[in-house]
Structure 1
Amino acid sequence: MSRAFDAIVIGAGQAGPSLAARLAGAGMSVAVIERKLVGGTCVNTGCMPTKTLVASARAAHVARRGEAYGVRLPGPISIDMATVKARADTVTINARTNLEAFLAGQQGVTLIRGHARFVSTHQVEVGGERLSAPRIFINVGGRAAVPDMPGVHETPFLTNTTILELSEVPEHLVIVGGSYIGLEFAQMYRRFGAEVTVVEKTPRLIGREDPEVSDAIREILEAEGVRFRLDSDCISLAPRDGGVSVGVDCTSGDRAVEGSHVLLAVGRRPNTDDLGLEAAGIATDPRGYITVDDALQTNVPGVWALGDCNGRGAFTHTAYNDFEIVAANLLDGERRKVTDRIDTYALFIDPPLGRVGMTETQARQAGHEVRIGVRPMTRVGRAVEKGETAGFMKVVVDSGDERILGAAILGVEGDEAIHALLDTMSAGAGADRLRRTMHIHPTVSELIPTVLGELKP
C-alpha cells in the first residue's frame, strides 16, 4: 500500500507543524509523521516543563527570602513535589493538545503516527505503508547523549527527560555536566531542597562563555549551596545501596561523590541514526547531524532538514527560524539564509544569562580590536530595588566601525533586556545609535546605553 503527497514532514517538533500549515495553505497535500509526541522536545521534555519547574523553584526561593522584604510567613517553606510535577505536566499536556488540535484543523494536512524510514530519495515507509513526495522535510530533533563512561550500563541514571518523571525531591542529586541543562536542574533542585553536586570534567562551567561569566554563574549557584567538582578527569558511575557513586578523580582527594540520584547532562545527539538516511543518500557529519546548505537543503534535491537534527542550532527559536527560512524561500520568493541570523540564547538559571553574538574571546579570535563596556548589577537601579543584584552586563564593540559584536547580560531580566542589543544588531545600527536612544526608567534595559557610553579598550 502506498500514498503520494505533495510534501512530507517527518517530525512534529517546533518547525514541523508550522511548516505543514504553510505548505497546506499554499494548496499542497502534506503528511506529518510523528512517532511519539506532537510538539517535540520543547513542549514535552524541554522548554515548557522545565521552565514551569524553574518557576516553582523560584517561588520557593522568594518565599524563603520573604523576611528580607519585610514579609513574614506563618511557618517554614515546604515543597509538595507531586503538585509541582502535576503543574508542569498540565502545562505540557495543554500545549500538546492545542498543537494536535491545530494540526487537525489544517485542511490538507494528514497526521500519521509511526516511525518513518527512508527507502529511497523521496519515499519513506511508516508502519508497512509507503509514502512518497517530491518535497521531504526532516524535523526529528535530538535526545540526551549518554557517553560510554565506566559503569553507565550498570548504574541507574536520569536524563533531562526521565528526571521530569520524579514526583519526589532527591536527597542528593549528582549532576554530570556543568553546562546549560545541568546548571538549570542544579539550581532548580537545590531550591526544592535537595543536596546538589555538579561534576564537570573541564576547569570551569559552560566553557563557551567568557571566563568572568562562568565564574559569576558558579558564585551565584554556590551561594545557594550547590557544590562543584571541576577538573573531574576520571568520571565513572557505580551503583550503591540506595543510590549511586560518581567517580570524579583517579589520583587524589575525595575520589567519588555519593548521591541518591545521578543526572547525565553532557550534551545532545540528533535523532538521525534510525531514519534510513543511507537509503536516500542523505549526508551527515561525523556526529550524525544532517548536512545542510545555507537554505537548509540537504545534498539530496528536494530534501530539507530543520531543527536540532541539522546542527545549525539547538534551540526552539532556531528551529522555528529554520521553518521561517524554508517557508520564505519556497513560498514567498525570498532568498533567506541561515547564516544571516545572529546567534542568541539564554541560560535560565535565576538570575538568567542572556547572550547575543560573539563573546569577547570569540571576537578577539576573529581578529577584531574591541572595546568593552561592563556594569555590575549592583549599579542597576531596577536590580537594587528588587534586591537581586547578582551578575553584570557586558557589551563587546568593534573599535573601528562601532559595530556591536556581542553582549552578555547575567542578571535579573537579562533574558529580556538582551533583545535591545539583538534588535540593534539585526537592524545594522551601531553602538553610537543605541547609546543615543532613550530607554524607560526604572528598567534593566535603560542601563544599556549607559554601558555603551563607558566603553574602554
Structure 2
Amino acid sequence: MSTHYQALIIGSGQAGTPLASSFAKAGYKTALVERSHIAGCCVNEGCTPTKTLIASGRVAYLARRGRDYGIHTGGEEGKEEGKSKGNKILVDMKKVRQRKREIVNSFRGGSEKRLEGAGVEVLIGEASFVDEKTVKVKMNDGSEKMVTSDRVLINTGERPAPPRLTGIETLDPKIVLDSTSIQELDEVPEHLVVVGGGYVGVEFAQLMRRLGAKVTVLQRGKQLLPREDPEIAQCLLDILKEDGLEVLLQTQASRIEPVNAGFTLTYTSLPSNEPKQLTGSHILFASGRIPNTESLNLPAACIKTNANGYITSNEFLETPAPNVYVMGDAKGPPAFTHISYDDFRILEKNLITHPTSDLSSKASTKNRLVPYVVYTDPQLGHIGLRESEARGLPLYKNHPERIKIAKMPMSYVARALETDESRGMMKAVVDAETGLILGFTCLGLEGGEVIAVVQMAMLGGVRWEVLQSAVWAHPSLAESLNNIWGFLE
C-alpha cells in the first residue's frame, strides 16, 4: 500500500520548507520528508548557529579592546612593547554554546509551525527512489512507508566532507572536528589546527582565536580564499595575522598521531617541502563539503549526477526525470542559503503561482546576480564579477582597456575611522564604456551591508557616476561610494 501526494519534497532546508508550505496552501496534498531535523543546514548547523557564535567572538574582541576606546573593565592580559594587550576577559564556552542552541531551537520551531500551519504532512525518515514517482521512506521509528507523487522535489543539501589524513583514526574522536561538531565544544581549544583556508576555515579560525585559542591554519593553495582576487586575500591574511593567527600557505598535512590528550601533525610547505611538525589539542577539517545524494537511489528514477555527486538540472531546476526537480545545495555550488531560497522562488512561480509552458515566461537561474558574505571581522562582502572573471570574458579579452579598477583602503572611510575599525579595503570593477558596475568587493566594517547598496545599483543598471555624485548620509559607510570611484584606473 502507498499514499499518493500531489507534491513530495525531500529535505526541509531553506527551499524545501517554504515550497512545501506554498504547495499545501495552494490546495495540493503535500508531504515533506526529513531524516534529521526541520529547517535544514542553515538553521541547524550553518548560518544561524555560526553567526550566533561569531557574535560572541566579536563581543570578546571588543571587550579586549575596551582600553582603545577609553573603557576599562578589568586588569590587563599582558604587556607588549610597553602597551597593554587589552582587558582581561573570561569566556564561558558553555554559555556561548547555550545561547547558540536557544536561537537555533527558536528558528527551528518557527519552521515546524509554518509546516504545521500550512497542513504539510511531515515524514521523519530517509527517502530513496523506487521509480520516478515512487519513493520509499525508512521512518526513524523503524517502519517503512511507500509514497507516490505527481511531483518530487529534492532539497537534501550537503554535509562536511570526511577527513582524509593518515593516522586520523587513531585520535580521540572528540578532538577531530568538522563545521558541525566544533559548534558543540564546551571549552575553548588550547591549540586549534584548521585544515583548509576557505570561507568556513577562516570564519572558525578567527572565532576561536577571539575566544582565546591558539590557532594555526594550513592552506594548500598560494592564498587564503582561492576564488578571491589576490589583493583581497592578502588583505584578509594580514588582518588574521594581526589578530594573532598563524597561517601556513602552500602547506599540506601528511600524517597525524596522538600525543597525550592531543596530537602531533606532520606537514610540508613549499618551497622547501621538508617535513615539519606541530602539536595541537583539536583539529578542524574545513576543506570541503559533499552532497547528500548517495542514499536517494537516483538511478531508479533516471536522475543523473556529476562526478562529485551533485544532481544535474537545467536553468528551471528540472532534472532529466519528468516532474522531478532539484533545489539548493544538492544541485551544486554556489552553496548559499539565499540561492536555495531563490530556487524556492523559481519553483513556486513555475509550479504554483504562474505555471506556463512558455519558456520565455518561466523563472530561471539564468543571469541571477549572486551576492555573498564571509563573516570574518571585518566582513568580506562581494557581488558580481571579480577582476579575474571579468578579464576572462571574451568582450574584455578583446578589449582589455574597457576594464577599470578602483581600490580604496577602509582607512579612507570616515565612519570606519570613527569606530576605530578601519581594517580592510574596497574594490570595484567597472566597464569604462558603459559605466556599469561589473563587480564590487568590500572587506571592511559591515561589508555585507555595503555591497547590498552596490547590488541595488547593479540590479537597476545604474552607472558608477551616479553613486559618485549621490548625496549619502554623513557619517555612514555608504558615504564611501562617493569616494572610491576617484581611484578608478
Question: Is the shorter-chain TM-score for this pair beyond 0.5, marking a shared fold?
Answer: yes
Corresponding residue of 1:124 = 135
Corresponding residue of 1:174 = 193
Match of 1:377 among 399, 410, 425: 410
> Would the alpha carbon gap of residues 58 and 185 (structure 1) be closer, same or farther in structure 2, given more than 3 Å must change?
same
Segment of structure 1 superposing worse, 380-389 or 421-430: 421-430
Q: CA deviation at 1:40?
A: 0.9
Match of 1:409 among 442, 451, 463: 442
Q: Distance in 2 between matches of 1:442 and 1:336?
A: 40
Q: Distance in 1 between matches of 2:123 and 2:253?
A: 45
Q: CA offsets per residue over residues 194-246 of structure 1, 9 Å max, x none?
A: 00000111111011000011111111011011001111145333222211222
Match of 2:473 among 423, 426, 440: 440
Residue pair 1:229, 1:248 contacting (<8 A) in 2 also: no
* 1:69 equivalenced with 2:81 (yes/no): no
Q: CA deviation at 1:452?
A: 2.5
Match of 1:215 among 224, 227, 234: 234
Q: Distance in 1 between matches of 2:194 and 2:43?
A: 23
Q: Distance in 1 between matches of 2:222 and 2:97?
A: 34
Q: Distance in 2 between matches of 1:74 and 1:68?
A: 13
Residue pair 1:403, 1:430 contacting (<8 A) in 2 also: yes
Corresponding residue of 2:60 = 60
Segment of structure 1 superposing worse, 407-416 or 144-153: 144-153
RMSD across aligned positions (CA): 1.4
Q: Distance in 2 between matches of 1:197 and 1:354?
A: 24
Corresponding residue of 2:102 = 90
Q: CA deviation at 1:432?
A: 2.7
Match of 2:324 among 291, 303, 308: 303
SS at match of 1:32: strand
* 1:100 equivalenced with 2:112 (yes/no): yes
Segment of structure 1 superposing worse, 72-81 or 375-384: 72-81
Segment of structure 1 superposing worse, 112-121 or 400-409: 400-409
Residue pair 2:253, 2:265 contacting (<8 A) in 1 also: no
Match of 2:424 among 382, 391, 406: 391
* Equivalent AA in structure 2 for residue 272 of structure 1: T
Corresponding residue of 1:244 = 263
Q: Distance in 2 between matches of 1:235 and 1:204?
A: 20
Q: CA deviation at 1:326?
A: 1.0
Q: CA deviation at 1:164?
A: 1.2
Residue pair 1:201, 1:235 contacting (<8 A) in 2 also: no
* Equivalent AA in structure 1 for residue 364 of structure 2: K
Residue pair 1:54, 1:188 contacting (<8 A) in 2 also: yes
Residue pair 1:175, 1:264 contacting (<8 A) in 2 also: yes
SS at match of 2:129: strand
Match of 1:189 among 186, 208, 212: 208
> Structure 2 stretches of 5 or more lacking a match?
76-87, 139-143, 355-360
SS at match of 2:366: helix
Corresponding residue of 1:79 = 91
Residue pair 2:43, 2:49 contacting (<8 A) in 1 also: yes
SS at match of 1:129: strand
Q: Distance in 2 between matches of 1:236 and 1:101?
A: 47
Corresponding residue of 2:21 = 21
Residue pair 1:163, 1:263 contacting (<8 A) in 2 also: yes
SS at match of 1:153: helix
**Following superposition of structure 1 onto structure 2, how do residues 230-269 of structure 1 map, counting pairs within 5 Å?**
230-249=249-268, 252=273, 255-269=276-290
Segment of structure 1 superposing worse, 424-433 or 147-156: 147-156
Residue pair 2:165, 2:253 contacting (<8 A) in 1 also: no
Residue pair 2:36, 2:124 contacting (<8 A) in 1 also: yes
Q: Distance in 1 between matches of 2:61 and 2:340?
A: 32
Corresponding residue of 2:245 = 226
Corresponding residue of 1:162 = 181
SS at match of 1:441: coil
Q: CA offsets per residue over residues 84-114 of structure 1, 9 Å max, x none?
A: 111011111111112111111113x111110
* Equivalent AA in structure 1 for residue 156 of structure 2: V
**What's the TM-score, normalizing by structure 1?**
0.97
Q: Distance in 2 between matches of 1:265 and 1:3?
A: 41
Q: Distance in 2 between matches of 1:429 and 1:296?
A: 30
Q: CA deviation at 1:253?
A: 5.3
Residue pair 1:179, 1:205 contacting (<8 A) in 2 also: yes
> Structure 1 stretches of 5 or more lacking a match?
none
Corresponding residue of 2:48 = 48
Q: CA deviation at 1:312?
A: 4.1
* 1:365 equivalenced with 2:392 (yes/no): yes
Query: Displaced runs of 4+ in structure 1, greater than 3 A?
Result: 152-156, 233-236, 250-254
Corresponding residue of 1:33 = 33
Residue pair 1:146, 1:266 contacting (<8 A) in 2 also: no
Match of 1:110 among 97, 116, 121: 121
Q: Distance in 1 between matches of 2:156 and 2:416?
A: 40
* 1:427 equivalenced with 2:427 (yes/no): no
Residue pair 1:371, 1:397 contacting (<8 A) in 2 also: yes
Corresponding residue of 1:455 = 488
Q: Distance in 2 between matches of 1:280 and 1:90?
A: 40
Corresponding residue of 1:325 = 346
Q: CA deviation at 1:146?
A: 2.0
* 1:204 equivalenced with 2:231 (yes/no): no
Corresponding residue of 2:367 = 340
Q: CA deviation at 1:25?
A: 1.9
* Equivalent AA in structure 2 for residue 198 of structure 1: V
Q: CA deviation at 1:54?
A: 0.4
* Equivalent AA in structure 1 for residue 482 of structure 2: P
SS at match of 2:169: coil
Q: Distance in 2 between matches of 1:83 and 1:305?
A: 38
Q: CA deviation at 1:147?
A: 4.6
SS at match of 1:62: helix
SS at match of 1:65: helix
Q: Distance in 1 between matches of 2:30 and 2:409?
A: 52
* Equivalent AA in structure 2 for residue 158 of structure 1: L
Corresponding residue of 1:281 = 302
Counting aligned pairs with the same residue, the percent is 40
Q: CA offsets per residue over residues 334-380 of structure 1, 9 Å max, x none?
A: 51111221121011000000001111111112242310111111110
**What's the TM-score, normalizing by structure 2?**
0.90
Corresponding residue of 2:291 = 270
* Equivalent AA in structure 2 for residue 211 of structure 1: P
* Equivalent AA in structure 2 for residue 446 of structure 1: E
Segment of structure 1 superposing worse, 147-156 or 359-368: 147-156
Q: Distance in 1 between matches of 2:211 and 2:277?
A: 24
